[in-house]
Amino acid sequence: MRMASRRIVLGTSCLLLAGLVLLGARASADETPPPKVADAPAAGASVSAEEYEEALERAEGIEAGLMKSVAKVRINSVAVLNLQRRRPAPKAEPILMTAGTGSGVIIKYRSKLWILTNVHVTARHHELQVVTHDAVVRDVELHDSIPEYDIALLRFKAKPKRVAFRGVPVAARNSERGLKAGTWVIATGSPFGLGQDGRCVTTLGVISGLDRFLGGQYQYVGAIQHDAEVNPGNSGGPLWDLKGKFIGINGKIAMNPALRGARPTSTGAAFSLPVHQVEAHLKRLVGDGDAEAGYLGVDAETAKDKNGKSVGAKITAINRRSPLQGRNASATSPKVGDVILSLSVKGSLKRVYTASDLREHLSLLPALQEIRIRYKRGKRTHYFKVVLADRGR
């Protein structure tokens, strides 16, 4: 019965793909724009056997390529188990119980295997385990994290031996090239704990937005928005392109405000941390010291000129823990109302046209990094050097 069901599903998928391929082929052949939805051929429209077979063959080729990509990425997707000590009775000895589940991705960095996931997946844990694609439960531990950006790095307590997974590279230059709205993506993970048997759940979707910002306890800066189905338990799991390149970490979903108090479920709007943000902090994450993200401590909004053009990030508030406050404050330090035009980091100029630009640049910098801020106050341009703080833990 399972095999028969699978044939039906695959057959339906191929027919749908064939219809799309056939429509695309006809539009291309006629050198006319694609038909409007209202003008699309009806279900009973005449299609030659030759056209149908050609379209079906191409659709099956697309599906075969997709299945090959899924098989490639699944081996590096894991389920993450958050174990906490609980007392089954008032005077009983505490026992370890699974308090929550999430997902993760095995990466390779400097010839060593690590696991990336979300900080909120590991919250309040006493022990951590992962289930790899071979259904083996392996003990892991939290190595380091960037709490404000929801990035956690786990390490295996014992070096995995004779395993099929090799880990994926974290390389933004290769992985993020060409990402646009409409790009197909694959999400793998363990929604609702379904991947605890080693067989991760796979969903398919498209990118529906880039450079999204989501605030709160965990800030998602420059996030990838997509509609591959993501549910509780997918958090920390990887997002891939169709070639099997690692492009992000799934972590948040949009909630339906009408369902307050209900368990969150997929709404068609999921958000992933982009791989370039992870890559920016990876060297410090795998190091021996604590990785700390840089903190400027300012709120800003996009400043516009009289023509409505975005020209910088206008400071609307400065946090009391900001390095621009206290002993660093002076007549030349940026103040509320000033407009930040650019940041210089180790001689590299980072232009700031919007508040999003400012958040994006700062999200990639570590604590204790010296930056040079160019800003405008009235009609005059000023420069100020400051060392980024950390938020503390």
Contact (CB, 8 A) for 55 and 21: yes
Average pLDDT for 260-285: 87
For residue 16, the Cα-to-chain-centroid distance in whole angstroms is 29
Average pLDDT for 166-191: 91
pLDDT of residue 174: 77
Torsion, CA 376, CA 377, CA 379, CA 381, rounded to 10: -40
Could you give the percent of the chain with pLDDT greater than 70?
86
Helix (H, G, I), strand (E, B) or coil at 17: helix
**Cα–Cα dist 273/391, whole Å:** 20
H helices within the chain, ranges in order?
2-30, 49-74, 119-122, 172-175, 275-286, 355-363
pLDDT of residue 6: 38
**Cα–Cα dist 311/131, whole Å:** 49
Radius of gyration, CA atoms only, the chain: 25
pLDDT of residue 54: 85
Tokens 């046209």 sit on residue: 353
pLDDT of residue 19: 56
- Name, in order, each residue with C-beta under 8 angstroms of 131's C-beta and a sequence gap of 6 or more: 78, 79, 81, 137, 138, 190, 195, 196, 197, 198
60-69, 93-102, 129-138, 281-290: which range is least confident on average?
A: 60-69
Residues in the chain, overall count:
393
Average pLDDT for 124-135: 96
Assess whether pLDDT exceeds 80 at residue 262: no
pLDDT of residue 7: 40
pLDDT of residue 332: 87
Q: What is the pLDDT of residues 200-217, one digit of tens each?
A: 999 999 999 999 999 889
Instruction: Name the residue type at position 58.
Output: R
**Cα–Cα dist 75/96, whole Å:** 27
Confidence of residue 350 (pLDDT cuts 50, 70, 90): very high
- Name, in order, each residue with C-beta under 8 angstroms of 72's C-beta and a sequence gap of 6 or more: 244
CATH 2.40.10.120 assigned to 78-288: yes
Average pLDDT for 87-108: 91
**Cα–Cα dist 201/190, whole Å:** 6
Q: What is the pLDDT of residues 136-154, one digit of tens each?
A: 999 999 999 999 999 999 9
- Domain limits, the chain: 2-34+48-74, 78-288, 298-387
CATH of region 298-387: 2.30.42.10
Q: Which residue has the higher pLDDT, 324 or 330?
A: 324
pLDDT of residue 35: 46
pLDDT of residue 33: 52
Contact (CB, 8 A) for 359 and 342: no
The full DSSP string for 84-101 is: EEE-SSTTSPPEEEEEEE
pLDDT of residue 339: 98
The full DSSP string for 328-364 is: G--TTS--TT-EEEEEEETTEEEE-SSHHHHHHHHHT
Contact (CB, 8 A) for 351 and 341: yes
Residue 347: phi and psi, rounded to 5, are: 85, -5
Average pLDDT over the chain, rounded to an integer: 87
Tokens 């056209």 sit on residue: 51
